[in-house]
Amino acid sequence: VYSTWPAQRAVEDFLEHIKALRRRYRDRLDSTVVPVILDGENAWEYFHDDGREFLQRLYARLAEDPEIETVSFSQAATEMPARSLPRLFAGSWINHNFRIWIGHPEDNAAWDLLSRVRNDLTAFEKKHPEIPPEVRSQAWRQIYIAEGSDWCWWYGDEHRGAYNAEFDRIFRRHLMAVYELLGMDVPAELSRPIHGGGAESFTLQPVDLLTVQIDGRVTHFYEWSGAGFFDCVKAGGAMHRVDHRLTGIHFAYDHNRLYIRLDFVSRHSIELLQAMRIVIGLTTETPRLVELANVAVGAQGEEPGKYAWAVGDIVEVAVERRYIWPAEYGSVGLHVELYDGDSLLESWPEGDPIPLEVPERNKEMFWPM
């Protein structure tokens, strides 16, 4: 929220929220605590000067304000009356669940391996109580490192980068080290990559809401920044495609529309086709088709209430969310087919469609940019 605000204004707004809570709970201030939990890394790179001015002003204002008392969590736990929680919600800061870290076959495989190695270590300790303390300490250190959440952040299809395979190798190397420290044989499973590198490896999911101007060109540098992306070049290489015209498929959404952008090898590759037709399949409970006929540089079209499109250096399409889903949100699979007349030239992806989950309005869970 505050990353683009002037530091002083952001701090004053934050304090006003704190004081609003104070007014709301004025009859029980002695038993009211407002936890303020700051992210350790991710958010601050989006703030001016990495958030230094914001944080300095925030801490100064909190310390000097007579209506606010700052305490540590340990102080609060000691000084405040304890109450029982009948239920503790299990979840995370991202989508309120653990999907980033568990559920995908890669995530599950990583946790299964970690569990096996941990169990083997505890069994070894019971069988060999004479194990030297330094060996025991080093072995457990490898386990604790492997239990860090960052490993499974990179497994699965939510986050893909240039170093996924390297993260995979290092994660397994920590688990191997446990057996090596104990003088045991390393299980063969730890020598096999967890990172699959399948078709999902070529897809990145959106990280922000976007509104796109449908004009067939990248209107400004940030227009598509934060969109999802399917890499046709890498996918084509893995699938032994010898020729292709499409290089990538971008996808994003705002509160009203789903946006799709098609990148070609060059503008010339669009001009070469005499009767290009593009069919975009939207797989939902009620499948929809977006059909662009007579696609040529400078062309544009519209199906009122459904979608609009334009062609220039790229192809841009805006699809009304209400055309895809009656509730205007839900799951959808994207599939793109490129024709020259009636001849199918390309189909992306070759397997399952590109998955996308569009949440209900105002329930998006993106980090502030």
**Distance between CA atoms of residues 1 and 360, nearest Å:** 19
CA distances from 308 to 265, 282, 320 (A): 23, 15, 9
Given a contact cutoff of 8 angstroms between Cβ atoms, the answer to whether 110 and 146 are in contact is no
Cα distance between residue 278 and residue 293, in whole Å:
7
Concatenated DSSP letters of 203-244: EE---S------SSS--STTTTTT-EEEEHHHHHHHTT----
Tokens of 277: 């037709």
Helix axes 52-64, 7-24, angle to 10 degrees: 40
Which one has a higher pLDDT value, 169 or 235?
Answer: 169
pLDDT digits 0-9 by tens, 216-225: 999 998 899 9
pTM assigned to the model: 0.50
User: In the β-sheet with 246-253, what is the strand arrangement from edge to edge?
Assistant: 203-204, 228-231, 246-253, 257-264, 315-320, 307-311, 300-303
- At the second CATH level, the architecture of 105-197 is Up-down Bundle (1.20)
Mean pLDDT of 232-249: 66
Cα angle 195-201-204, degrees, rounded to a multiple of 5: 125
Q: First vs last Cα of the chain: how many Å apart?
A: 8
Fold of 202-358: Immunoglobulin-like (2.60.40)
**pLDDT at residue 199 tops 80:** no
Q: Which residue has the higher pLDDT, 244 or 20?
A: 20
- Name the average pLDDT for the chain: 88
Whether the per-residue pLDDT at 238 is higher than 50: the answer is no
Lowest mean pLDDT among 157-166, 179-188, 302-311: 157-166
**Token digits for 321?**
């969310």
Report pLDDT digits (tens) over 62-71: 999 999 999 9
Q: Looking at residue 81, what DSSP letter applies?
A: P
Domain boundaries, the chain: 7-79, 105-197, 202-358
β-bridge partners, 260: 251, 317
